[in-house]
Amino acid sequence: MKIIAFGDIHMATAGVERIPGIKEADLVLLSGDLTNYGGAKETKTVLDDILKINPNVLGQFGNLDRREVNDYLEQLDINLHGQARLVRGEVCLVGVGGSNFTPFRTPSEFPEKELAALAGRAFRQGQEYIALAQPLHKRKIPLILISHVPPFHTAVDRLSNGKHVGSKAIRTAIEHYRPDLCITGHIHEAKGRDMICSTPVYNHGMLRQGGWVTITVSQSQLEITLQ
């Protein structure tokens, strides 16, 4: 199974078709910031461009998307925010969109307490899905967190001035639930990789700067490539 994940699109979908393997990918994940302060109309424009290339899409809103984007994705039944998705019995995805508070008062920011509740609910749902599905498939089902905001105090939440601005709630959730992988974005200049406990954390960076992650799932193992 091949998954391609990216985000921080900010309406700039040109170049998506040049991502290697995107047309054949089993799933495309959009981690957030589909628009620039946009709503459902702008999100539709972004999704239309991507769905023409690959119709197998799941996504969530980022802090620069208005709250109505979450409702729109839910109506399309492709939303990840605050919930889990079991995909083909091979992988379980857990999503947390938006971000913690920023100095810019962007449209979809949450207090850390709410991010913790969202993450906890989604992880518990994911664990339930895995517990039901794993005996049927007779193999480990990897658990992947898609969080728009990166976990606090990592290489992937650091601004160019060195300040860490990620979410403490997301870090705590990773430490507690130990997902097999975390994909994040939000801080464009912090593209890269880090580890929290046994969980690799990848920030794909900004799409128009050539950032995405390719995940290959084979025999319950994850192979991750950061472009």
Q: Could you read off the pLDDT of 14-65 as tens digits, one per residue?
A: 989 999 999 999 999 999 999 999 999 999 999 999 999 999 999 999 999 9
pLDDT of residue 151: 99
Give the Cα-Cα-Cα angle 167, 169, 172 (nearest 5 degrees). 115
Length of the chain: 227
pLDDT of residue 108: 98
pLDDT of residue 161: 97
CB neighbours of 203 closer than 8 A, spacing ≥ 6?
A: 150, 156, 157, 184, 185, 186, 187, 190, 191, 192, 193
Q: E strands, the chain, where?
A: 2-6, 27-30, 57-59, 84-87, 91-96, 143-147, 181-184, 192-196, 199-203, 213-218, 221-226
Residue 9 has pLDDT above 90, yes or no: yes
pLDDT level of residue 137 (50, 70, 90 thresholds): confident
What tokens were used for 137?
Answer: 């498939």
Q: Could you read off the pLDDT of 146-179 as tens digits, one per residue?
A: 999 999 999 999 999 999 999 999 999 999 999 9
pLDDT level of residue 183 (50, 70, 90 thresholds): very high
pLDDT of residue 69: 98
Return d(Cα 21, Cα 156) in angstroms, integer. Answer: 25
Q: Could you read off the pLDDT of 81-120 as tens digits, one per residue?
A: 999 999 999 999 999 999 999 999 999 999 999 999 999 9
Residue 138 has pLDDT above 90, yes or no: no
Q: How far is CA 54 from CA 27, 83, 132, 149, 207, in A?
A: 8, 23, 29, 25, 16
**H runs (alpha helix) in the chain:** 40-51, 67-75, 112-137, 168-177
pLDDT of residue 136: 84
pLDDT of residue 164: 98
* Domain spans, the chain: 2-226
pLDDT of residue 135: 87
As a whole number, the mean pLDDT across the chain is: 97
Determine the topology of domain 2-226 in CATH: Purple Acid Phosphatase; chain A, domain 2 (3.60.21)
